[in-house]
Amino acid sequence: MMNPTSFTIWDTETTGLDKAFDVPVEIGALFTDASLQPIRHIHLSCRPPRSVLPQPGALLTTKRRISELMSRPMTAYETTGRFKEVVEAVTPTCFVTYNGVKFDDPLIQHTLYRHLHDPYLMMKAGNSRLDILRLVQLAYALGHGDLVVPMSDVGKITFKLDQIAPLNGFNEKGAHSALVDARAVLHLCRLLATRAPELWARAVRLWSRKDAVRNLVGGADVIVQFSWDWRKGGRPSFKALHPIGPGRSYPGDIVCLDLAIDPADYRSLAPEELTGKIAIGPKPRPICTVRLNGFPIVFNGDDPLVRGRVPVEAKVLAERAQQISHDSGLHDRVLEAVDLSRDSFEEPGHPEQQLYSGGFISAPDMIAMERFHLVTPENKLDVVRTFADTRLQYLGERLIFEEWPAILPLEIRARLDAELRGRHLSSMECPWTTVATGLEAIEDLLPKADDAGRAILMEYQEYLMSLLQSQDVLAA
C-alpha cells in the first residue's frame, strides 16, 4: 500500500456542538507534502446563517463577539462552496483532523449536505483520513512517542488539543483559531512520525484506508481493536474480536463478536433476543462493529504490538473464535439481530438530521445539486423542484431563503419567515439554540466568566433580546 503523496490538516470553529444544526464559522487547513512539510494554507471565515443562533459557550471558547461574526462578508453558503472547491483541488490526499471522526468529519458532511453539495466528497476518489487524537491515545497507551499527556483539574487524563500541544513543544498562541489548531495538529503529526515511526506508518498505510482495514479484518480469526474508554476516569481498551462479516444493511460496518464474553452465554439466542446484546451504552455486550470509515485502530490478534494487552488468555481467545467460526447459524442470527436493531431506531424528525438515516442521495439528484450552484438565482427554485428527494427540496428552499430571499414567491417567503420565527422563539426542547435557551445559557455562564468573557456574553445577551423584541413587533 502506497503512502499518500500529500496531507491536508484541517480544523473548524463552529457555532456549537450539534452537527446537524450548528455550522463552521471558520475552516483552517494546511497542505503538506508526503514528509509533512507545509506547502500552503487557507483560512476561511463566514457569518452564520440567520437560522443558526450560536451557542453562548461556543462564543466564549473561540473568544468571538456576535457583532464580529455577523459582520463577516462571506456567508456560510459561499464558504462551504469555497471549501468544496479546495477539497476537489487537493484530492487525492490524506485528510487529518484531531477528534475528527466524532466531530469535524460529521459536521462537515452535514454542512455540505445542508448546502446541497456531495456530503461524502472527502471520503471518495482515493482520499484517506487520519484522526490524530486516536493515534495520540494509542501512543500513550503503548508507551511510544514520549508524549507528555496533561491532567485535568480533577486529576484525570485529558487529551485536549489546546493543552497537549503546548506541553509537547507547540508554542504558537491562538488556540481555538482553526488555522492555529491545524498547525498544532501538524506539530503532533511530526512528533509521532519522528518518535513513534511504527505507529505512524501503520496509521498512514492501514488505519487511514478502509480497504486496507477491510482486508486485515476479513483475513483474521482474531483481531484486537483499540479505543479509549472514558469510564472510570479514562483508560486504554484493547478488545479481542472475532469478525463475522459485513453488515447486511450497511456493509461499511464489519460485525464482530467480543471474545472476552463466552459464546455459551448467547449462542442459543434468537435474533430478537440477540438485539439486546449489541454494544450500545456502557454495559459490555458481545456484538460490536468495526466501522471502516471511522479510522478504526485494529491489529491482527498475534501482532507483537498488542501482545499481552487483552485481559483474556490467548488459548481461550483461540478456542472461542473457533467455536464461533464453525457456527454458521450463529453468524446468520447475529447479522439479523444487527439489522433488527437498526430498524428499531426512530427516524429523526428534521431533514437536517436525516443525512444518514434517509439513505444515499440518488445519482439524478446529485446531478441536480450540481446544477443548482451553476444556474442564476432566479432559476434555482426551478432546480429545487426537480429533486426527487424531499430532504433536498426542504434544504433547497431554505438555502434560497437564506441567500436570495427576494427571488422567492411571496407565499413561500412568508411561510419560511414564520418558520424562522418559530425556530428562534420555540419554547419546546430543541436540538438547536433558541433565544430562550441562549439567554438561559448566558445566565449560567456569566458568574464564572472573566472580564473579556462577560463582555462577549453581555453583547450576545443584548443581541438575543433585540431578536426577541423584533419578533414581538412582527407578531403584532
Please report the DSSP string for 332-401 in residue order. HHHHHHHHHHHHTSPPPSSGGG-TTTT-PPPHHHHHHHHHHHHS-HHHHHHHHTT-SSHHHHHHHHHHHH
* pLDDT value of residue 471: 60
Determine the Cα–Cα distance for residues 438 and 460; give it in Å rounded to an integer: 9
- Read off the pLDDT of residues 443-459 as tens digits, 9 standing for 90 and up: 999 999 999 999 999 99
pLDDT at 230 > cutoff 90? no
- Average pLDDT of the chain to the nearest whole number: 93
Please tell me whether residue 172 adopts helix, strand or coil conformation: coil
* pLDDT value of residue 454: 97
Same fold, 6-200 and 211-343: no
- Read off the pLDDT of residues 285-297 as tens digits, 9 standing for 90 and up: 899 999 999 999 9
Given pLDDT bands bounded at 50, 70 and 90, which one contains residue 283? confident
Give the bridge partners for 253, in sequence order. Answer: 291
Given pLDDT bands bounded at 50, 70 and 90, which one contains residue 3? confident
Q: Where are the beta strands (DSSP E) in 15-144?
A: 24-33, 38-45, 94-97, 128-131
Give the bridge partners for 131, in sequence order. Answer: 97
pLDDT at 7 > cutoff 50? yes
Domain map (residue ranges) of the chain: 6-200, 211-343
CATH architecture of 6-200: 2-Layer Sandwich (3.30)
Tell how far CA 275 is from the center of its chain.
26
Distances (CA, A) of 464 to 22, 64, 206, 276, 327: 17, 15, 48, 45, 61
Question: Closest Cα partner for 257 from 273, 268, 238, 241?
Answer: 241
pLDDT at 40 > cutoff 80? yes
* pLDDT value of residue 336: 94
Count of Cβ atoms closer than 10 Å to residue 345 Cβ = 8
Once rounded to an integer, what is the mean pLDDT over residues 158-185?
92
CB distance 279 to 288 below 8 Å? yes
* pLDDT value of residue 224: 97
* pLDDT value of residue 97: 97
Give the bridge partners for 11, in sequence order. Answer: 28
* pLDDT value of residue 124: 93
Reply yes or no on domain 211-343 having CATH 3.40.720.10: no
pLDDT at 282 > cutoff 80? no
Amino acid at 456: I
